[in-house]
Amino acid sequence: KNEVEQSPQNLTAQEGEFITINCSYSVGISALHWLQQHPGGGIVSLFMLSSGKKKHGRLIATINIQEKHSSLHITASHPRDSAVYICAFRQGAQKLVFGQGTRLTINP
Amino acid sequence: DTEVTQTPKHLVMGMTNKKSLKCEQHMGHRAMYWYKQKAKKPPELMFVYSYEKLSINESVPSRFSPECPNSSLLNLHLHALQPEDSALYLCASSQEGTVGYGYTFGSGTRLTVV
């Protein structure tokens, strides 16, 4: 079993829909990262959170440390949000453990 | 400057060639990373440099040779690669010494070995 599980693996939605991507992990962590990767491109760090909720524009990330669960929400989704969204946590001092990613497609 | 810059963006090389990938950051980050990413897979850690010293080598074949000439630069020297080494190579950096800091990734070098 992977230490990080994401769901769904693939998600297709219509423009304007509210999107939720889930991340569950099996070990104690101090912080969780949400990352975005556009096709063929580099990775952008969206959030790093250790408790509660963070918001940036139309993106909201929440984490429940006790439940070992985090969610990424996108409000009023847009085709430019189409990307792979990855959750990850730091293991030890330097190593990131990545989820398998959620491939999101927003159709106009 | 809040970016990690990777060059070149694309590289095609033969199996007998020697080439280098370059990564640069000016954020004062003291940890720098090389990742390899195959299509539709998450990145795999290759190397970590901490304060310009190699701190993690994830059992990477010797045909990949990292180098950290100074705190802003990270190179990956490539020699006698195989077609299965074709992938996106990502560089990243972070503050060192605490888990409270995030990572900054470059846009990657897409490598094709022919």
Please report the number of interchain residue pairs, chain A to chain B, with beta-carbon separation below 8 angstroms. 56
> pLDDT digit string (tens) for B20-52?
999 999 999 999 999 999 999 999 999 999 999
Q: How many residues are there in chain B?
A: 114
Contact present, B2 and B102 (Cβ < 8 Å):
no
CB distance from A31 to chain B under 8 Å? Answer: yes
A100 interaction partners in chain B (CB closer than 8 Å): 41-42
* CA–CA dist B42, B48 (Å, integer): 17
CB distance from B105 to chain A under 8 Å? Answer: yes
> pLDDT digit string (tens) for B75-90?
999 999 999 999 999 9
Structure tokens of A54? 């963070």
* CA–CA dist A82, A107 (Å, integer): 9
Q: How far away is chain B from the Cα of A85, in angstroms, using its nearest Cα?
A: 10
Averaged over B46-59, what is the pLDDT?
A: 93
Contact present, B34 and B46 (Cβ < 8 Å):
yes
B50 interaction partners in chain A (CB closer than 8 Å): 93-94
B107 interaction partners in chain A (CB closer than 8 Å): 41-42
pLDDT for residue A41: 80
∠ CA A69-A11-A91, rounded to 5°:
35
